[in-house]
Amino acid sequence: MISTLEKEITFRFLKARKKDGFLNIISIFSFIGIGLGVAVLIIVMSVMNGFRTELINKIVGFNPHITVKPYDNQINIEKLKKSNLNLISENLFLSNSGEAIIIKSENSKGIILRGYSREDFSKLNIVKNKTFIGSKNSLIKNYISIGKELSFTLGINIGDDITIMSSAGVETIIGSLPKKKTYTVISLFESGLADFDNNVAFVNLNTLEEFFDLDIKDRNLEIYLKNPQNIENQKTITQKIFPNEFVYSWSDMNSSLFSALKVERNVMFIILSLIIIVAAFNIISGLTILVKNKTREIAILKSIGVLNKSIVKIFFLVGVIIGTSATIFGIILGVTFSMYVENLRQFLSSVFNISLFPEEIYFLSSMPSEINPSSIFIISLCSIFITIVVSIFPAFKAAKLDPIQALKYE
């Protein structure tokens, strides 16, 4: 427990006095340093969390959340009626895919064709998007839906005919030749990721299987979840329902990307934590000077019967109060900046006429930010812990002062 005397002396030592000018400067720098360190950590973590969330939302917006791929036997449709699968899934689609070459005039490009039934295609999130142009319910026969990026690359518009060459061969008198088929563009989609828009196209499922000589038993089951974030648990449920099929998720397909983001976030946390550590060392300097300046007061306190443990508490509290108040200031500053980081980006871009966070590089039109309470709690805990650690040495040093020697030289 902290006594009233200890509280009173602690707050007196915290008050500024003219003769303690240099000490006050150190205390101010300690406060600002820790506050800015906490604020920068919160801002960086919020932006990285926001970037990760936006990236996940884009990926799960156009890719199946879980894919079940058959090995030998066709996927048992009866398993789709399982209650566990219906509880976690929002939509279940059968699909197939194949690699082909798209030819338009003198231009050609390799693409991935993904096949869906007309009904399933209209239910895809990428089709429900406001940026989708064209017919949503006409993916039949020789119609195709391509990305806007691909349409710009090849100079294609809705209604244009394109030729697609399949890897499946057709036997002729001169040998095996690749299949060719003409498709009419009926719609343009936009996922938000240029690589996807430039390399994927959608056709009717039956047309695709005929084009690539695929069998019905080769069809994949695409599962779109109600909560795609909690992927590992839901993948386990799916694996139990389909023990003889290959089950993989959007997380598996992008594991290297999200592993890199996680490593980068952890490294940034460690590097930026050094700011707090360096600022906290100023507290040691400040408290050491405070002990030196308050030698006479410490000697008087000891001579009137104040115990060593009370002296330790007093100087320890001084350091902790500086660090804790600086941490609270940093939290307020960091959260405020995180909330208005996009407004700040727009302001700086307009004032200095520079492009911060360019869309063509990051695939995002605005700087994302997601304030995570658990991250703020960890940052605050680390900051206060560092403050507590650096306050221990000067506090014990103050308690070790000999009151007779101290008063002798005063």
pLDDT digits over 286-322, tens only? 777 776 666 777 777 777 777 777 877 877 887 888 8
Summarised one tens digit per residue, pLDDT across range 169-190 is 665 555 566 778 889 999 999 8
**pLDDT tens per residue, range 42-53:** 888 888 888 877
Domain for residue 237, yes or no? no
Paired strand residues for 165: 101, 180
**26 and 122 belong to one structural domain:** no
* Long-range pairs, 349-358, Cβ under 8 A, ≥24: none
pLDDT at 153: 85
| Residue given tokens 């005063």 in the structure block | 410
Specify whether 27 is located in the same domain as 114. no
The pLDDT-based confidence of 223 (bands split at 50, 70, 90) is confident
Q: Is 176 helix (H, G, I), strand (E, B) or coil?
A: strand
Residues 168 and 46 in one domain: no
Answer yes or no: do 52 and 130 share one domain.
Answer: no
Determine the straight-line distance between the first and last CA of the chain, rounded to whole angstroms: 32
Residue with more model confidence, 149 or 365: 149
Predicted confidence (pLDDT) per residue in 111-123, tens digit: 889 999 888 888 8
Are β-strands 175-189 and 161-172 bridged in parallel, bridged antiparallel, or unpaired?
antiparallel
Query: Are 74 and 50 in the same domain?
Result: no
Q: Is 97 strand, coil or helix?
A: strand
Mean pLDDT of 246-262: 80
Query: What is the predicted pLDDT for the residue at 361?
Result: 56
Specify whether 178 is located in the same domain as 88.
Answer: yes
Does the CA dihedral 112-118-121-127 come out positive or negative?
Answer: positive
- What is the rounded average pLDDT of the residues 221-226? 86
- Same domain membership, residue 167 and residue 263: no
Continuous segment of H or E residues that includes residue 25? helix 21-62
pTM of the predicted model as reported, rounded to 2 decimal places: 0.69
In this structure, the dihedral spanned by the alpha carbons of residues 269, 275, 277 and 282, taken in order and rounded to 10 degrees, is -170
Q: Is the pLDDT of residue 280 over 80?
A: no
Q: Which parts of 137-260 are beta strand (E)?
A: 143-147, 161-172, 175-189, 200-204, 220-225, 246-249
Query: Domain tally for the chain?
Result: 2
In a domain, 336, yes or no: yes
Question: Residue 186: what pLDDT?
Answer: 93
User: For 62-110, how does the pLDDT look when each residue is reduced to its tens digit (9 = 90+)?
Assistant: 788 888 888 877 877 666 666 667 777 888 888 998 888 888 877 788 8
172 with 301, same domain?
no
State the residue for tokens 């959340």.
65
Nearest Cα to Cα of residue 319 among 6, 39, 13, 32: 13
pLDDT value of position 332: 92
Q: Pull the structure tokens for residue 48.
A: 């990285």
* Rounded-to-integer distance, Cα 282 and Cα 308, Å: 24
Domain of 139, in residue numbers: 66-227
